[in-house]
Amino acid sequence: MHHFQFKDKALHCEELAIEDIVEIVGTPLYVYSSATITRHFAEFEKGFAGIDHLTCFAVKACSNIAILNLLAQQGAGADIVSGGELFRALKAGIPAEKIVFSGVGKTAYEMREAIFAGIRFFNVESAQELDKLETVAAELGTKARVSFRVNPDVDPKTHPYIATGLAQSKFGLPMEEAYRQYKRAASMEHIEVVGISCHIGSQLTEISPFVAALQKIRAMYERLRQEGIILQFMDIGGGIGVTYDQEDPPHPLEYAKAVTAELGGLDCTFVFEPGRVIVANSGILVTSVLYTKTNPGNANDPAKTFVVVDAAMNDLSRPSLYGAHHTILGVRESKGEKQTVDVVGPICESGDFIARNRELGPVQQGDLLAVMSSGAYGFSMSSNYNSRPRAAEVLVRNDCYQIIRKREDYDDLIRGETLLDENF
- pLDDT tens-digit series, residues 254-299: 888 888 888 888 889 999 999 999 999 999 999 999 999 998 877 7
Q: What is the CATH number of domain 4-31+282-413?
A: 2.40.37.10
Rounded to whole angstroms, the Cα distance separating 375 from 326 reads 11
Sign of CA dihedral 33, 99, 94, 80: negative
Whether 396 and 34 have beta carbons less than 8 Å apart is answered as yes
Rounded to whole angstroms, the Cα distance separating 420 from 424 reads 7
Rounded to whole angstroms, the Cα distance separating 130 from 126 reads 6
Q: pLDDT band for 422, please (50, 70, 90 cuts).
A: very high
How many other C-beta atoms can be found within 10 angstroms of the C-beta atom of residue 64?
21
Rounded to whole angstroms, the Cα distance separating 401 from 393 reads 10
Domain boundaries for CATH 2.40.37.10 within the chain: 4-31+282-413
Predicted TM-score of the model (pTM): 0.93
User: What are 353-368's pLDDT values in tens digits?
Assistant: 999 999 998 999 999 9
Cα→Cα distances 404→137, 278, 392, 393, Å? 37, 18, 8, 6
Question: What DSSP character marks residue 420?
Answer: P
Closest CA to 239 of 268, 280, 270: 280
Mean pLDDT, all residues of the chain: 91
Active site residue 348: yes
Asked: is 34-279 a CATH 3.40.50.1360 domain? The reply is: no
Whether 213 and 250 have beta carbons less than 8 Å apart is answered as no
Whether 218 and 266 have beta carbons less than 8 Å apart is answered as yes
Domain boundaries for CATH 3.20.20.10 within the chain: 34-279
Contacts (Cβ under 8 Å, ≥6 apart) of 245: 325, 327
User: What are 95-145's pLDDT values in tens digits?
Assistant: 999 999 999 999 999 999 999 999 999 999 999 999 999 999 999 999 999
How many other C-beta atoms can be found within 10 angstroms of the C-beta atom of residue 293?
9
Asked whether the predicted pLDDT for residue 11 surpasses 90, the reply is: yes
Whether 214 and 250 have beta carbons less than 8 Å apart is answered as no
User: What are 163-219's pLDDT values in tens digits?
Assistant: 444 456 667 788 888 889 999 999 999 999 999 988 776 677 777 777 888 888 888
For the segment 22-45, the average pLDDT, to the nearest whole number, is: 97
Task: Return the pLDDT at 33.
Answer: 98
Asked whether the predicted pLDDT for residue 342 surpasses 90, the reply is: yes
For the chain, how many helices (H) and strands (E)?
12, 21
Active-site hit among 56, 198, 348, 400:
348
Task: Return the pLDDT at 7.
Answer: 96
Q: pLDDT band for 155, please (50, 70, 90 cuts).
A: low
Of the two residues 151 and 138, the one the predictor is more confident about is 138
Q: pLDDT band for 71, please (50, 70, 90 cuts).
A: very high
For the segment 5-24, the average pLDDT, to the nearest whole number, is: 97
Task: Return the pLDDT at 281.
Answer: 95
Q: Strand, coil or helix: what is 144?
A: strand
Separation of CA 246 from chain center: 20
Rounded to whole angstroms, the Cα distance separating 235 from 100 reads 9
Helices 108-117, 127-139: crossing angle, 10 deg rounding: 60
**Secondary-structure percent of the chain, ordered helix, strand, coil, rounded to 5:** 30, 25, 40
Task: Return the pLDDT at 255.
Answer: 84
